[in-house]
Amino acid sequence: MARKPRPPLATGQLQGFKYFTLLGPLLERLRPVGTARDRAGNRDFFFDQYVSLLLLYFFSPALTSLRGLQQATGLDTVQKLLGCRRVALGSLSDASRVFDPEPLHAVIAELAQRVAPAPLPRDRESLRHLTAVDGSLLPALPRMAWALWRDDRHRAAKLHLHFEVARAIPVAATLTPGNTGEVTQLRGQLRPGRLYVLDRGYAAYRLLRDILDARSSFVVRLHDDAAFTVAQERPLSAAARAAGVVRDVVIARLGTDHHKDEVGRPLRIVVVATGKANPGGRPDALVLGTDQMDLAADLVALAYRFRWSVELFFRWLKCILGCRHLLGESLSGVTIQVDVALIASLLVTLWTGRKPTKRTFEMFCLYFTGWASAEELQRHIEQLPQQDSS
């Protein structure tokens, strides 16, 4: 049975373009991207216009495909927003391969800088720059040969994300084939002044040294059988015991005497009971390594708990913003789509002054598609609770 054609997109289904004005100066710098290849000067669809169109896609449920985006460019309101004429489907498809996504990283960084500092309790001020890092797979089509993962039938791209916990925002991201190592990607993206919280997939001792050399710190889950030499047992406070901490020690070195000391300095091990049993029936515990000697043990445990926030953001990105459906098939095309999704998430935070939620995103979608008025959207924003700093 043939698929029933979708009805034509109506102008009334898209509105609210004033919210994109914040991006104007940032997107202007994208105009020259990709024009060097067009020596004849015939290009009439530019990178900044493509990014604006993708933003419209994320906030407009009526737009569900590349063909839907192409149809939208025929609307007067969209043409006025983009400053272009109707775009051919071939030109739109070609855009994901022609444009270099690298300049979008600067846009993400600048928008992240504009998000106000999060209010934190005084005893948690030391966690202000806590940055959760992890990777997540985006399923790809078998014909996307670059997206190497398990085999020719199982392809995927991998998003490597740095997520600042206190402000609940992405601050850096890279996209690679699915089989790319996460340790290697983090090593190339290290920044000073961060407290990185990492799962045990990042428990490579040389990486920990690289983090210290970058003038940052870490809280990392070590493997349960990690070897270390204890230099000092530390007493546990009542707050630490309440947080499940069962041991707090300073170690002279990480690893055995038979191996090179990759970290090269004393560290600290905090063991936290999970309240569960491992497959052997023994009480399960998290073995956390950190270079932070003065951070309270209960805050070390709390820092690792906050690592889960990056997993929640992946769910937001894939299930709410819809990044599981890829509009392009090239590495650059998928990277552009993911970067624009991160920009969309940052815009929601800047528009509302709050952590983005499903209900708020739905309200913006209702507004952009003409179902909610500007007054109703503003009323929703004003009724949002204050940013949760817990």
Q: Which two tokens stand for residue 198?
A: 């990492």
Nearest to 319 by CA among 361, 258, 368: 361
Structurally, the chain folds into a number of domains equal to 1
Q: Which residues contact 77 (CB under 8 A, 6 or more apart)?
A: 11, 14, 15, 17
Crossing angle (nearest 10°) for helices 102-114 and 331-352: 10
Q: Which two tokens stand for residue 90?
A: 């071939």
Chain Cα centroid distance, residue 21: 23
Give pLDDT tens digits for 119-145. 899 989 999 999 999 999 999 988 999
Whether the pLDDT of residue 7 is over 70: the answer is no
Measured between alpha carbons, how far is 268 from 266 in angstroms, rounded to an integer?
7
Give pLDDT tens digits for 170-215. 999 999 999 999 999 999 999 999 999 999 999 999 999 999 999 9
CB 212 within 8 A of CB 262: no
Does some domain include residue 74?
no
- pLDDT score of 197: 98
Q: Please name every residue paired with 233 in a beta bridge, in sequence order, or none if there are none.
A: 249
Give pLDDT tens digits for 361-372. 999 888 887 888
Does some domain include residue 286?
yes
CB 121 within 8 A of CB 357: no
- pLDDT score of 2: 46
Give pLDDT tens digits for 210-248. 999 999 999 999 998 899 999 999 999 999 999 999 999
Does some domain include residue 270?
yes
Tell me the pLDDT band of 22, cut-offs 50, 70 and 90. Answer: low
Whether the pLDDT of residue 14 is over 50: the answer is no
Tell me the pLDDT band of 9, cut-offs 50, 70 and 90. Answer: very low
CB-based burial label for 18 (10 Å; 0-12, 13-18, 19+): exposed
What is the per-residue burial (b if ≥16 Cβ within 10 Å, else e) of 180-200? bebeebbbeebeeebbbbbbe
Within a 10 A sphere around the Cβ of 77, how many other Cβ atoms? 14
Whether the pLDDT of residue 284 is over 80: the answer is yes
CB 32 within 8 A of CB 71: no
Does some domain include residue 19?
no
Tell me the pLDDT band of 25, cut-offs 50, 70 and 90. Answer: confident
Biggest CA-to-CA distance, the chain: 73
What is the per-residue burial (b if ≥16 Cβ within 10 Å, else e) of 205-217? bebbbbbbebebb
Whether the pLDDT of residue 19 is over 70: the answer is no
Give pLDDT tens digits for 295-344. 999 999 999 999 999 999 999 999 998 887 888 899 999 999 999 999 99
Whether the pLDDT of residue 11 is over 80: the answer is no
**Full-model pTM:** 0.89
Measured between alpha carbons, how far is 220 from 201 in angstroms, rounded to an integer?
9
Q: Which two tokens stand for residue 5?
A: 């054609």
Tell me the pLDDT band of 168, cut-offs 50, 70 and 90. Answer: very high
Q: For residue 271, give the H/E element and its range.
A: strand 267-277
195-198: strand order across its sheet:
169-177, 155-164, 130-140, 195-198, 217-222, 283-290, 267-277, 245-254, 228-233
Q: Where are the beta strands (DSSP E) in 178-241?
A: 195-198, 217-222, 228-233
Does some domain include residue 171?
no
Q: Does the CA dihedral 58-59-65-68 come out positive or negative?
A: negative
Whether the pLDDT of residue 13 is over 60: the answer is no
Does some domain include residue 188?
no
Q: How many CA atoms lie within 13 A of 282 on its CB side?
A: 4
Measured between alpha carbons, how far is 131 from 152 in angstroms, rounded to an integer?
34
Q: Domain limits at 279?
A: 200-300
DSSP assignment of 44-104 equals: -S-HHHHHHHHHHHHH-TT--SHHHHHHHTTSHHHHHHHTS-PPPHHHHHHHHHHS-SHHH
354 compared with 162, residue with greater pLDDT: 162
Report DSSP state, residue 263.
S
Whether the pLDDT of residue 21 is over 70: the answer is no
Q: Please name every residue paired with 154 in a beta bridge, in sequence order, or none if there are none.
A: 151
Give pLDDT tens digits for 27-76. 888 888 877 655 444 568 899 999 989 988 888 888 888 898 999 899 88
Percent of the chain residues topping a pLDDT of 90: 57
Whether the pLDDT of residue 346 is over 70: the answer is yes
- pLDDT score of 8: 52
- pLDDT score of 1: 46
